[in-house]
Homo-oligomer: A and B are copies of this chain.
């Protein structure tokens, strides 16, 4: 929406974070707390998540501040004391963060990130941290499903026009590139993230010319071998014949038409007819792109039905993760002042204490994860790494290609039944004996104290 607000403002928060913080401040509660960020349940048809957004989250933690006009606004609400507002004016995040590296897979109940900081600081960053990680995890996971369904064909992100704002458009491009898509139409993302950009032409381009073939020629004349012609403005097969004409004209000038795009109608059937035409006309290597309502389900179906499509332009349904636009992500206090804590609210389990996750492989495939206490050392590879200490990121941001390769290699090892795009089977995630015992103990003592005392 491009409202004018400073990047990394600490004002990106729910009011209750500030009211709670004022109580902590007044009560002198500056002891360290650990909060755990995790997803409680798989959204429909999901069996895994991709860690994404960490770079943005750390940048937020390093830079979040309240500016003088923020303090003035907060003062105007009449909710806050001057000494607390003074505290906010000097606020910066000084805590530690452990996290699952971006591109790595994680599963439900597993912390993707844990913050340990004075409780007032850890609380104030809750809203922004959840927002950043939730968005990129949701989108990376969605895009990975489209890439998986495409079985090696390219996925190009066409979603910017209908993502939920600019942040979301940038997040699709970044998270989607991690998850294996080939390119994006988003020019700003191309510039900022160095992601390959791609695009063809719009119907308006065609209709602005006196005739379709003149529009094709004008475009091919400038873009040569990078030309992809949109052929469905009036009639797809008639458009394909004009594309053949243009391809021949180009050939006579030693240039090659790269492809055509279909954007309406029964594209599976049309793609076969267009391919047949191209074969008959001796230009079988013109690529066929298709766009229009694609998501992992439609891609999967079209390939199973024999579509002759080389690349999919995937837009809205991927960019808003339409079949499942959110995940049940939570940021829960699990330890305060060395005391493990939990809430009992019905149906919502939180695992107490700072944690680690160990991942075991068997025969080159992911076999089993175990969630443990942070200090445990179990079989397998620990997933959570220290990424921030005393409010400073431990390492420079990772290049996007490194993260993309980490995902590629992790996903390759994920059993097909877990990564299936419909009805995946649950991946095995256990809880260590020590964590199980502590969980039971804390639960009993909370019940005794809170439900006994009333």
Contact = CB atoms under 8 A, between A and B. Distances in A.
A211 interface: yes
A345 B454 contact: no
Contacts of A242: 454
Q: Chain B CB within 10 Å — which of A23, A198, A211 has the most?
A: A23
Contacts of A9: 188
Contacts of A167: 1-3, 164-168
A19 B205 CA distance: 10
Interface residues of A, number: 126
A89 B446 CA distance: 64
Nearest to A198: B15
Contacts of A342: 207
Contacts of A344: 233-235
A69 B202 CA distance: 26
A59 B204 contact: no
A342 to B, nearest CB: 7
A263 interface: yes
Nearest to A18: B187
Q: Chain B CB within 10 Å — which of A2, A163, A186 has the most?
A: A2
A10 to B, nearest CB: 9
Interface in A123-156: 123, 126-128, 130-132, 134-136
25 contacts: A1-B56, A1-B168, A12-B166, A14-B185, A15-B190, A19-B199, A19-B222, A27-B218, A119-B204, A123-B205, A127-B160, A130-B161, A131-B165, A161-B331, A165-B165, A203-B345, A211-B450, A211-B453, A213-B453, A233-B450, A234-B344, A235-B450, A264-B346, A264-B348, A325-B325
Interface of A: 1-5, 7-9, 11-20, 22-24, 26-27, 29, 33, 35, 53, 56, 59-60, 69-70, 73-74, 77, 79, 81, 119, 123, 126-128, 130-132, 134-136, 158, 160-171, 174, 185-188, 190-192, 197-208, 211-213, 218-219, 222-223, 226, 232-235, 238, 241-242, 263-265, 316-317, 320-322, 325-326, 329, 331-333, 336, 341-348, 446-447, 449-451, 453-454
